[in-house]
Amino acid sequence: MKKHYLAVDLGASSGRTMVGTFEDGKLSLKEMNRFWNGPTEVRGTLLWDFVHLFRNIKEGIALAKKEFGNGLVSMGIDTWGVDFGLFDADGTLLRNPVHYRDSRTEGMFEKVFERVPKEEVFAQTGLQFMELNTLYQLMSLSQADSFQYRAAAKMLFVPDLLNYWLTGNMKAERSFASTSQFYNPATKDWAFDLLEKLGIRTDLFAELVDPGTVVGDADGLPVVAVGSHDTASAFAAVPVAEGEHCAFLSSGTWSLLGTELPEPVINDDVLAANFTNEVGVCDTIRFLKNLSGLWIIQELRRVWNEEGFDYSWQAMEHMALEAKPFEFFVDPSDDVFLAPGDMATRIQDYCERTGQARPETHAQILRTAYEGLALLYASAYETLDKLTGRTLGTLRIVGGGCKDTLLDQLAANATGRKVITGPIEATATGNLIMQMLAMGDIQSLEEGCEIIRNSFAEETKIFEPQEQAAWRDALDKWRTINNK
């Protein structure tokens, strides 16, 4: 019997609704609609357009119901991390959520650490320090005595906000909450003590629920709080074989490199390495580092195309391959590359600032960006092995970024590990698997992994490491230049 499930998958640059059809042990995907997502600047603040997102989600639901009718079993939403909306006592959204790249969190590290030492923040949360984290967004509202902050009765993270608009129920899904830096993965509750010391309101938070919880219904369609952080859904879709010890890389605008563990790892070494403990599905911890991803390549293409060059992704990969390797070294995770803008000039300026020559051609700039990403992965991979005490022999890359075969091969070269890619639609697939689990149509995540292997075998590609000596030398030079 065919069964159909609707996944709403919202990334930082686009959203889509997809129906997964399960039949004869295999899952197939069909896109219902796709729509733009991104920030709009309003009087100096970067905002998300949530009415636009909700309208398109409703359209996707209507299209799915029209095509699949009563065969549609459930739906679930996954999104990017850390952002949120504030609601008044009547349940009205007070303002469109602010984009995580907005400048309001600048200087908030210092404000937080004046009240609570960095070591204590990490001891309570186990989370990687990024100034875009929800903790620093809330601190900025508290410091500014924001009207919305004072008037709010409830705070909901992005997927929880959309679930509330669909169902009328306010819940906080745990995998997403764990990205806030005010969730304690050891106690499995909000870090109330930390928030009280910081003077941040503790009465705003909704009841926590685990991934795979049905939180209500949208016009009769059950709504599942899946692994609603998109990385949680992506990791749930990695088709790991029994007994395999591997690292995961969710590749897209951001790169999330890590592995799954049964318990959080919170110690001084993890703090020094700025790794993170986020909640995964089925009572796991996503032990990982949030790294720069294809954002820098995406921005290069966007700006160059606005200047009239009209480069395709394939043309950019070909240009990078033509350029001489290992001429210039940048760290794509540097804060200078965080905001939208002219990445080519920033790469050139970065090279000059670090005592290197200035890459001039588009091919040189692309090669520099690609190699910088691969070497960033290699450095983080070595640290991951040390912190977990494991030998993670394979790197599995999932998500839309794994279609970039140049970066896949460079990642294999830089890490010295075999790379296996797929599935491409990892977040949507993990979202669907968690719905199937919640609705009782499969009995375990292992069963879900078997379904994924059977369903997307044709997407699997293997990349063996090449030119190892040259890449080891390049990693040493990259570390020296970037003080890693």
Computed over every residue of the chain, the mean pLDDT equals 96
**269 is known as an active-site residue:** no
Q: Which of 9, 78, 83, 230 is labelled catalytic?
A: 230
CA pair distance 93, 170, nearest whole angstrom: 12
For 141-190, write each residue's pLDDT tens digit. Answer: 999 999 999 999 999 999 999 999 999 999 999 999 999 999 999 999 99
The 8-class DSSP code of residue 263 comes to S
pLDDT of residue 243 exceeding 90, the answer is: no
- 77 - beta bridge partners? 8
Report the predicted TM-score, pTM, of the whole model to 2 decimal places.
0.90
CA pair distance 174, 180, nearest whole angstrom: 10
Angle among Cα 304, 308, 314 to the nearest 5 degrees reads 60
Q: Read off the pLDDT band of 203 (50, 70, 90).
A: very high
Are 3-228 and 238-422+443-484 equal in CATH topology? yes
DSSP tally for the chain: helices H, then strands E: 18, 21
pLDDT of residue 93 exceeding 90, the answer is: yes
Q: Read off the pLDDT band of 484 (50, 70, 90).
A: confident
What are the sequence ranges of the domains in the chain?
3-228, 238-422+443-484
Cα-based distances in Å from 419 to 120, 249, 266, 293, 375:
37, 10, 28, 17, 15
Strand ranges across the sheet with 276-279: 276-279, 285-292, 254-261, 246-251, 394-398, 418-421, 461-463
Q: Report the percentage of the chain scoring pLDDT > 70.
A: 100
When pLDDT is averaged across residues 240-246 and rounded to a whole number, the result is 85
**Among 41, 15, 183, CA closest to 101:** 41
**For domain 3-228, is the CATH number 3.30.420.40?**
yes
Which pLDDT does position 408 carry in this prediction?
97
For 291-329, write each residue's pLDDT tens digit. Answer: 999 999 999 999 999 999 999 999 999 999 999 999 999
pLDDT of residue 245 exceeding 90, the answer is: no
Cα-based distances in Å from 83 to 356, 359, 466:
37, 36, 40
Which pLDDT does position 268 carry in this prediction?
97
The CATH classification of domain 238-422+443-484, taken from the options 3.80.10.10, 3.30.420.40, 3.10.560.10, 3.40.50.2300: 3.30.420.40
